[in-house]
Amino acid sequence: AVYFVLRRREHIQIFERRIPSQLVHVALMIGFLYTVGMALGTFCVIGFESGEAACQLKQGWLGVVFDCVSAFGTVGLSTGVTPSLTIYSKWVLMGMMFVGRILTLTLSVYLLRPWEKSYVKYPEEQIALG
């Protein structure tokens, strides 16, 4: 989508097929929510591990970030840092696993249902950006 916006193209085309703009909006929304969820979960875990415990972790904060992204994506990979985390961090990781699994399914079903038709169409306005 970004590529086609930068190229000043009106429609997104891949392999001589046009992608509906509503589908692109759904994909961008899911990606945005995943990014926000991973960032919030990672900040919570790093916040709970502040102080001496964070310095004692083998892989440091990068291992924590990897475990958080893996938990939210329900990948199943770990750097082995989880046993040394506090109980609060483990609860955050469990919540990330649950939300990461449910979020994709729920959002896909909700956002891909037919759009409501709007009976009122307001005029378009060109606004200044930037």
Residue-wise pLDDT for 116-125, tens only, equals 787 888 888 8
Identify the burial level of 91 via C-beta atoms within 10 angstroms of its C-beta, where 0-12 means exposed, 13-18 middle and 19 or more buried: middle
pLDDT digits (tens, 9 = 90+) for 28-41: 888 888 889 889 98
Which residues are 14's β-sheet partners? 17
Most confident of 27-31, 55-59, 85-89: 85-89
The domains of the chain, with CATH numbers, are 20-111 (1.10.287)
Predicted model pTM: 0.69
The DSSP-derived string for 6-64 is HTT-SSEEETTEEEPHHHHHHHHHHHHHHHHHHHHHHHHHHHHTTTHHHHH-SSHHHHH
* 15 CB neighbour count, 10 Å cutoff: 4
Question: At residue 91, does pLDDT exceed 90?
Answer: yes
